[in-house]
Amino acid sequence: MPFDATDIVLSFLKIAVVLGALLNVTPIMVWVERRGSALIQDRPGPNRVGPFGLFQSFADALKFILKEDIIPEQAHKWLYTIAPMFGLLPALTTIAVIPWGLPFRLPAKKLFGHVFFQGDYFFDPIVADVNIGILLIFALASLGVYGIVTAGWASSNKYSLFGAIRASAQMISYELALTLAAVSTLLAAGSLKLTDIVWQQTQYFYIFNVIKIPAWNVFSPSMWLSFVIFVVSAFAETNRLPFDFAEAEAELVAGYHTEYSSMKFALFFMSEYMAMAAMSALVATLYLGGWDIPWWNEPQVWWASVLTMLFFTLKVVAILLVFVWVRWTIPRLKYDILMRLGWKVFLPLAFVNILIVAFFIAKQWI
């Protein structure tokens, strides 16, 4: 397919924006987590390093960089070193197919004696709009298991291996429920592309022909069950409480990253928060209407697009706050109850939800 310099430059710009946002999530979320948990637990939290403890993340990063990097004697050196990089893979790549703004038309401009954007050039704020959009996310998210399993095994430590096997069994079980719950939204949109899913949610439901509510999937009664299943499975996929058997402080020392120190541990830490951000972006896209601003038919111009990007960020931030809130509220589930929930409760319910959505579509209520 013919592409020219303009396409390449704009693609690089999109990648820079997305990567910049994603890599900055970790320090911000660390601060939010620590202050938020302090708020919930009625204590001050970090408030010494800078105003409201805002520079705490920098202090943490400095500590991670300056710490001594220890590799255990019995560990398999190569695998021990590349395991944290496996963990980053799903977080950094799944964000590439998530649309974060309204596509807008770039008018032809004459700069430095050369005309840019001749004809109808649409700037689509999504790094890679592939035909199989959501399947790519599921494919890359399922590769996240390898980071944990390799880290646990390469540490050559019983507790690490145990934590790693439990965590990876949990992750692959809840992947099924996650995928099937997302299929309901795909049925409503009729396409695998995430941009199509968001465009379908820019329309409206008319109740009693009078009240107009935006056709976000979370407002459609057929998808409430799948919304609950998806959000809970997102918690399980990112190994957050109440499903954090991978880390399980006070049970497994620190689970699969017991033997990791300094920069490698920081990479695991980062990959967890980035996976959280990517999952929140996915929840926002599938259920909360993506970049859609409710009750406004956005014109496809640049300032409307910037507003939609802002709204998308707000939705992602809201879901991240829910992640933090749930972590400090709900206790950890016992492991066999967790597995039973994934296989015996969520999987059948996700199937039932697909049938319900198919019924709604057949009756043209969606």
Partner 1 sequence: MFEFAIFFFFAAVAVIFALVVVLHHNPVVGALSLVASFFALAVMYVLLEAPFLAALQVIVYAGAIMVLFLFVIMLLNLQHQPEEPTRPVQQFLGYTSSATFLIGLVYYIVKYAAFTALPAGPFNSDAGLIGAEIFQAYIFPFEMVSILLLAAIVGALLLSSRSVGARAQ
Query: Which residues lie near partner 1 (CB under 8 A)?
Result: 76, 78-79, 130-132, 135-136, 138-140, 142-143, 145-146, 149-150, 152-153, 161, 165, 168-169, 172, 175, 192
For the bound state, the minimum distance from the C-beta of residue 239 to partner 1, rounded and expressed in Å, comes to 16
Residue closer to partner 1 by CB (options 132, 207) is 132
CB 140 within 8 A of CB 93: yes
Residue 197, C-beta contacts closer than 8 angstroms, at least 6 positions apart? 133, 134, 185, 186, 188, 189, 191, 285, 286, 290
Residue closer to partner 1 by CB (options 155, 308) is 155
- Pair of tokens at residue 13: 């710009």
For the bound state, the minimum distance from the C-beta of residue 298 to partner 1, rounded and expressed in Å, comes to 28
For residue 338, count other CB atoms closer than 10 A to its CB. 20
For the bound state, the minimum distance from the C-beta of residue 35 to partner 1, rounded and expressed in Å, comes to 36
- Pair of tokens at residue 170: 């949990």
- Pair of tokens at residue 297: 């038919």
- For residues 181-199, one letter each, b for 16 or more C-beta atoms within 10 angstroms of the residue's C-beta and e for the rest, the string is bbbbbbbbbeeebbbbbbb
CA–CA gap between residue 356 and residue 162 (Å, rounded): 39
Q: Partners of 106 in the beta sheet?
A: 121
Residues 323, 224, 285, CA angle at the centre, nearest 5°?
Answer: 60
Residue closer to partner 1 by CB (options 148, 320) is 148
Residue 20, C-beta contacts closer than 8 angstroms, at least 6 positions apart? none
For the bound state, the minimum distance from the C-beta of residue 185 to partner 1, rounded and expressed in Å, comes to 15
For the bound state, the minimum distance from the C-beta of residue 172 to partner 1, rounded and expressed in Å, comes to 6
Residue closer to partner 1 by CB (options 40, 169) is 169
Q: Partners of 206 in the beta sheet?
A: 212
Residue closer to partner 1 by CB (options 178, 319) is 178
Residue closer to partner 1 by CB (options 243, 291) is 243
For the bound state, the minimum distance from the C-beta of residue 308 to partner 1, rounded and expressed in Å, comes to 27
